[in-house]
Structure 1
């Protein structure tokens, strides 16, 4: 039986569902939202928060991706395939988001006292609990030939379906995971395989970009033989956080949080414009 991580047992959860906002909801807004909520949770203004988000046909690149020798041509390729491209101002590499990918942020307080690995372990524990009725085979280790490989990749029988990142702001930490719920994991991986082939060609680079093998990635439905939808997983998350705390609130952003969000969103827009302008 999966051990429930201590961070998953707050007195209450705040639940913010932005999974059905549609194509106009930008990934830049998501990063600003998590920053604002991290500040709020860190200040004790908000309880531990679970935020759900979906972005349609978007590729989120990491800072190292922007240093590819032929990055402009690579971005042109993604645009030609119908994908919006943004560059986040944090670590990690490119990931593919679409309407079959559910993103979850668990936002915890006391980041200055809690080891960074604790946040990752809490998310691993949560996902195992979330799907414990469907599988006990979820493992956490780096799938080296996936896109955005990392120590806390989640896989079943060697095929990755989720990746975890963490961003710390002030005294709060947002642990973010993308879950490939439906669709083809291999098709998403092939898109980024072509991106790196076009962006790197045969040039030597100081940074080692992933040599992607699309067969090591799959969606949960492909791995489990299920017909899960993003809405199904949303309902599972809501039920699970209630089971873990006994209290869930759905308060909208307060005045101070809106101010923090607007400031962070403007910063994200400016930084992203500068990052993309450098690539022209």
Structure 2
């Protein structure tokens, strides 16, 4: 295999599949789990971890989104469209999660010694390897008129299907990617285009919010003319990490990790209440 980043080849992986927990599984729980895993991996209590997660009809806002001048109206719109709304604790802006979007987190150790770009580049390398039998056209550069634009947007032919964020906790780092597998990337983009139009209107703001063009976003199935399911991609990921490491364990949170999770979840809940206070 080519372009394999060293971070992707630990002696052992810990694999956690939470892609089928259903609509009651909250994105707040996901971010708290990744924080707990980051602490565990950073302390050397856990090997490098790979976690899969899916959330149903959820819009995850970035902290700047919560400061839109008409954010209450924007959130009300999302709720009328059937979406739950939370504010994330990692970088970036609003993204749409639904049952056609698979999220993958890699939890790497030694964040104090490893350059932050290494985490991003490892995820780019992994995604290219993951679909190397289907395409060699996956590129990483900013798709400026997408939602949550960033340097490590992943696209094919100028249409974005994935975005990457990273959160560092203690001595571990969680590198998170959303993969639009099924459905319409443009429809997801239209939802957030309307959100920003309602939430910002014509107001001048210090922060520059994206001006979204739905045509620059698509799902993998749309781009590759495939019929992949989220489960198909889940199987690809598990197979690939076996190839990269050779030893994979499947372990839930336990002991100290559960304590860390509960503490981080409570912090996430409080942070969300503060960010969205007086808006509901």
TM-score (norm 2): 0.99
* Cα shift at 1:253: 1.2
Query: What per-residue deviation string (whole Å, max 9, x for no partner) do you get for residues 93-127 of structure 1?
Result: 00000000000000000000000000000000000
Equivalent position of 2:191 in the other structure: 191
Rounded Cα–Cα distance in structure 1 between residues aligned with 2:90 and 2:6: 27
Equivalent position of 2:159 in the other structure: 159
Rounded Cα–Cα distance in structure 2 between residues aligned with 1:84 and 1:2: 40
Query: What per-residue deviation string (whole Å, max 9, x for no partner) do you get for residues 241-264 of structure 1?
Result: 000000000012120000000000
Rounded Cα–Cα distance in structure 2 between residues aligned with 1:207 and 1:90: 17
Structure 2 segments unaligned to the other structure (5+ residues): none
Structure 1 segments unaligned to the other structure (5+ residues): none
Structure 2 counterpart SS, 1:63? coil
TM-score (norm 1): 0.99
The answer to whether structure 1 residue 132 and structure 2 residue 132 are counterparts is yes
The answer to whether the 8 A contact 1:2-1:128 is kept is no
Equivalent position of 2:212 in the other structure: 212
Equivalent position of 2:224 in the other structure: 224
Rounded Cα–Cα distance in structure 1 between residues aligned with 2:52 and 2:91: 21
Equivalent position of 2:49 in the other structure: 49
Equivalent position of 2:248 in the other structure: 248
The answer to whether the 8 A contact 1:62-1:93 is kept is yes
The answer to whether the 8 A contact 2:185-2:214 is kept is yes
* Cα shift at 1:278: 4.2
The answer to whether the 8 A contact 2:146-2:210 is kept is yes
The answer to whether structure 1 residue 88 and structure 2 residue 88 are counterparts is yes
Q: What are the residue-to-residue correspondences of 1:1-280 with 2, within 5 Å?
A: 2-279=2-279
